[in-house]
Amino acid sequence: MDRITAVERALRSATPDALPRALSEALGLHYGAADVTLLMADYAMTILQPVTTLPYTMEPLLVHTSAAGRAFNWQQPHTEDSTEAGFVTVHLPVSVRGDRIGVLSVTLPAERLDADTERELLYIGEVLGHEILVCERDTDLYLQARRASRLTLAAEMQWQLLPGRSCKRPEYEIGAQLEPAYAIYGDNFDWSTSADHLTLTLSNGMGEGIEAALLTNLAVNALRNARRAGLSLTDQAYLADQAIHGQHQGRQHLSVLLLRFDLATGATEIVDAGSPRMWRLRSGKAEQIELDAQLPLGMFEDTLYAAQEFRTEPGDRLVFVSDGVYNVASPAGERYSEHALARALTSTRLLPASQVPRAVLHELAGHRGVIEADDDAMVVCLDWHGRPAGAQ
């Protein structure tokens, strides 16, 4: 049995709460690791928190200034000298299909770290990511490790509803983030891919607290139910509209933007139901895309929706923002203008899609200043590559 297989077997046979301990023992035995630390990215994507038993005693690391954060941000191994002479620490991204989960930091003798070992440890980091997602069904350990503070109940409901915060396949890359991360209300995003299509849904919630979270839960699950039944984009909107109106009789409604991309051609169907706004960055130029606005979901009974056609070209970056972004005011009362948003999208054009939402929201926080946010802010970034030549 080779050492990679041995480590994989140790992870798969460990109890859900014991992954870090099993990994530490296996890497010590087969790679000579002197120290192994699993760090989880918090909900705000600003710190990496070590996974230990409660109460936590190890200090978190900042994503933007630490060596581990460098591996997390760029999704590449990063090596630094250890505090112990003769040892090095290699930081490895832990992710699943582009969804960044955290970092695995391994300290081992310098002479034992070569290109083959680094490649093997990088693969082990991917295996660990998959195991964490499976084990989260049966333990709270990893979800607790993501928290720098307590979530509101509404935020708890919203985070459990999300598919992830990033996703990657040859045709596209997605990055998404919600703020305030520990107290979000009703903004939400969802996606699903098949062999031929990507469906992306973005909702701009109405209300605050539990009411907003319950409304969004109803809408997202109604849309998923219709999508999984194989219905068209317009029928998905219609059935979700009926579900919300049937529950609330028009007293509450939800703004939603639905998109369905053909992975082979980039042909895109869009249903704009009082949507979050859509921007496109093409050839370095940022512009807002004007869509055919229709009624929000749940406002009136028996609303019929129509899809409009759009073409997404390889190299396009699409960015979607909720009103919690473009309606934010500075301490002087100045709105975060379209010009400011266009400048933010242009200045982040070299960042990967997974980092764009955090960067835009960071600039937004600077505009808002010390004023506490009074609405959710959602940013979703989609980089469209198109289907590679010869791919099926």
Between CA 28 and CA 19 the distance in angstroms is 14
pLDDT score of 331: 55
Are 305 and 271 in contact by the 8 Å Cβ rule? The answer is yes
* Residue at token pair 């979607």: 320
pLDDT score of 60: 92
pLDDT score of 332: 53
Sequence-ordered list of residues with C-beta below 8 angstroms from that of 51, at least 6 positions apart, any chain: 20, 37, 38, 39, 40, 102, 141, 142, 145
Q: What is the DSSP letter of 252?
A: S
pLDDT score of 371: 43
Where the chain has pLDDT below 70, the residues are 1, 53-57, 327-337, 365-375, 392
